Chains A and B, each alone.
Chain A
């Protein structure tokens, strides 16, 4: 079964019909999605800017991660569910949209970067206390994360201008 078959099947589900048949459900999902996205990116930016040494240099990196990773994951879960429901409402439109496909690719990259960051630097960050600069690979990971998330927001906004 290819993706287009999947899209057709999804479109025929009661859930898809309920969302696409309502005037208010889709915009409401968009509102929740935007709220979740800005929370995810706002929280990630605070950690990334500390890694880059641009903000909160007086804070221990691990302490910031401890505070902001739960917020990020919680908001991401909400954004993912809202986004998935938006996709279910019009799967064929999204699959035909280049910005949507690029956004999904960027999300995978952001996720892989986050997992690699925690696996590779999780322990090394114990030494990055107040006033201490993060090691170069961790700084590059932060720069990559911030850049990819900014691109994800731009792709997400551009989806609405191309359908």
Chain B
């Protein structure tokens, strides 16, 4: 079914238009990386603050309020630029295991980041409870590891072969 979808996608006017201009894929990949920079800058501040490693003069809630919207917008633009890359080369990423690992990691990282934002605003976290602080620190370490793994998986898509039976 995925193969049929990719072959259908490759015949769409948009896919043909993207594929017929050599500059579109590198340009959209560049935009994709620029948005990852915006995302990672925000992710770094949020999680290093939770770990007490930077911005200690700022309230966690203030930083979350400032940077979580940047995370949300970045994820949205990343999904759009990623979709353009798939439309331009439908038989590439969709048939490589690293792409699906990356998507699973993104889902986990987004849920975790959203959860950390919610939990940091609860009465328990705001009261300075030791267990809650430890939970937030553990979550921050996990989030940093997840986003790092996502970047590695993203780069590795280009080095992975399509699985058996993938369309050429």
Q: Which residues of A contact B (CB under 8 A)?
A: 27, 30-31, 34-35, 37-39, 41-43, 45-46, 55-56, 63, 67, 71, 150, 153-154, 156-158, 160-161
Contacts and interface: CB of A to CB of B under 8 A. Distances in A.
B54 interface: yes
B89 to A, nearest CB: 13
B29 interface: yes
Given A27-B156, A67-B54, A157-B30, A41 B66 contact: no
A157 B151 contact: no
B8 interface: no
Given A42-B44, A154-B27, 20 more contacts: A30-B155, A34-B151, A35-B151, A38-B37, A38-B40, A38-B41, A39-B40, A39-B41, A42-B41, A43-B44, A46-B45, A56-B66, A67-B54, A67-B55, A71-B44, A153-B33, A154-B26, A154-B34, A157-B29, A160-B26
Nearest to B160: A27
A27 B155 contact: yes
Instruction: Find the residue from A30, A31, A37 having the highest chain B CB count within 10 A.
Output: A31
Interface in B135-167: 148, 151-152, 154-156, 158-159
Interface residues of B, number: 30
B50 interface: no
Contacts, number: 76
B26 A42 contact: no
Interface of B: 22, 25-27, 29-30, 33-34, 36-42, 44-45, 48, 54-55, 57, 66, 148, 151-152, 154-156, 158-159
Nearest to B155: A31
Instruction: Find the residue from A38, A41, A46, A153 having the highest chain B CB count within 10 A.
Output: A38
Given A154-B30, A158-B30, A31 B55 contact: no
A151 B43 CA distance: 23
A106 B37 CA distance: 18
A115 to B, nearest CB: 22
A39 B44 contact: yes
B38 A45 contact: yes
B154 to A, nearest CB: 8
A42 B57 contact: no
B41 A43 contact: yes
18 contacts: A27-B155, A31-B151, A31-B156, A34-B33, A34-B151, A37-B33, A38-B39, A41-B41, A42-B37, A46-B45, A63-B57, A150-B34, A153-B33, A154-B26, A154-B27, A157-B33, A158-B30, A161-B22
A34 B45 contact: no
Which 5 A-B residue pairings sit nearest by Cβ, starting from the closest? A42-B41, A41-B37, A154-B30, A38-B37, A31-B152
Contacts of B155: 27, 30-31, 34
Given A31-B151, A154-B30, A157-B29, A45 B37 contact: yes
Contacts of A150: 34
A131 to B, nearest CB: 15
B27 to A, nearest CB: 8
Contacts of A30: 155
